[in-house]
Amino acid sequence: MNPLLLVKKEPYKLYINGEFVASESGKTFEVINPVDNQPFASAYKGGIADVKKAIIAARHAFDEGPWSKMSAKERSKLLLKAGQILSRRVEEFATIETLECGKLYMSALYYEAQMSIDAFEYFAGKARCLEGKVVPCDTGHLNYVLWQPCGVVGEILPWNGPFMMGCQKVCAILAAGNTVVIKPSSWASLSMLLIAEVFHEAGFPAGVVNVVTGPGSEVGDELVRNPLVDMVSMTGGTEVGKHIIGSSKDTVKDIALELGGKSPNIVFNDINVDEIVQWAKFGFTNNAGQVCVSGTRLILHRNIYEEFIGKLKIECEKMIPGNGFDYEKGVNFSTLISKEHASNVWNYIKKGKSEGARVIMGGEPYDDPELAKGNFVPPTIFADVTRDMTIFQEEIFGPVLCITPFETEEEAIEIANATKYGLAGAVFSANIKRALRVAQNIKGGQIYVNTYFSKGMIESPGTGWKESGIGVAGIQKYMISKTVFVDMQDGSIPPA
């Protein structure tokens, strides 16, 4: 296949108030393929003027347009229609995601694209099932609780899974009855610029969905500071999340932040080593480690420590890096998103070496000249990592595994909880009582037992603990509750 045949020759446009438009400045930026760091497309670069227009459009669509007057059933049908349109264009979206993010094409096509379509179907159903409740109160009175949309939502998306995560979040926003201004990452904007075409063709009213590219310091900050925006949701790094918290103080708007992680993966000595080695490898190499819930801290029982590490090294050495479209050549390991990010990961690897961690494998660039054109970092395993080391404490967001030994259940839990993060974690043990005890005591919002990664990403989203996030998960993070008291008695008067 020639993936470039599915790429637009002209710059991808912003989508504001139901129209595909150039940015006010007319500026564009190159879209880079991280496999070889060569440009393959261009898109208009949004700015403050563009996002202000989008915010006004979203505000009008929510306050005065037909969107908020539609029934849940009508919104549901529009989401279903959009999902059907997306399913017809699935190869195009998977191709663009592979080109822009350096992903494996088969993974983009058969997992991320299917999960994206599923988001439309799931939230189309969810839109019709948003129930409140009746609460017992004083005799002669009725108290009921409603869940209502926040209003205008600014959704700031990450670059590591913009297509899948973008569809999941935007569909939830719309199912809840909100309007939205989407700010994709500057490193990965195309899938959301394309998804605007899907919403447009499906017949969503003007202003309900808007997509504006541009730097976070301008576009993202305006979404946070602008009083016409009711709520901002962001998925990204913890430091950016802290900035958003500070910027939101003047409007005291609702914010939901899905932030960084340094997730522990605890493996006891009663497991099948050959089997669990595969899960440990998958946990830190999936998407080249660019997954917020990656199991990047392997907490390994001392009795199987060296055996497990040796077998893990053998399995990781089987990984074949390369262009995600070269699946027929066996490519199963992808590149990092950019030169800048790869450089940051290499700096952590140098730090791990300098602080005395034992290098089991990786830690040096590939010598293949084709791989050198891209941002490839080989699977890198550090053993004997102590909790005072930088690579133990800080999120690297690359295929770097830090292994720490333990002897007792209590010690494993203590090591697991010894960072500022609390996003996810896992425990592997044949003793299910022990596994559940450990899962109960890991300070994190999403825990896996004898597996790794979520099996119900939409249905059962996790919540970040500690510095891994704030705000409830799922569709209700885009809604706000209202409690209503009704006096049903004739001639009622207040107490004297």
Kindly list the catalytic residues.
258, 292
Q: State the Cα–Cα distance between residues 148 and 249, nearest whole angstrom.
A: 23
* Element counts in the chain: helices (H) and strands (E): 16, 22
Phi-psi region of 397 (alpha: psi -120 to 50; beta: other; left: phi over 0): left
Residue 110 neighbours by CB under 8 Å, 6+ apart = none
Two tokens, residue 296: 């990047």
Q: State the Cα–Cα distance between residues 392 and 327, nearest whole angstrom.
A: 33
| DSSP state string for 422-478 | ESEEEEE-S-HHHHHHHHHHS-SSEEEESS-S-S-TTTS----EETTEES--SGGGG
Closest-CA residue to 459 (of 473, 480, 448): 473
Give me Rg for the CA atoms of the chain: 24
| DSSP state string for 215-272 | -IIIIIHHHHH-TT--EEEEES-HHHHHHHHHHGGGTT-EEEEE-----EEEE-TTS-
Number of alpha carbons in the 13 Å side-chain half-sphere of residue 366: 21
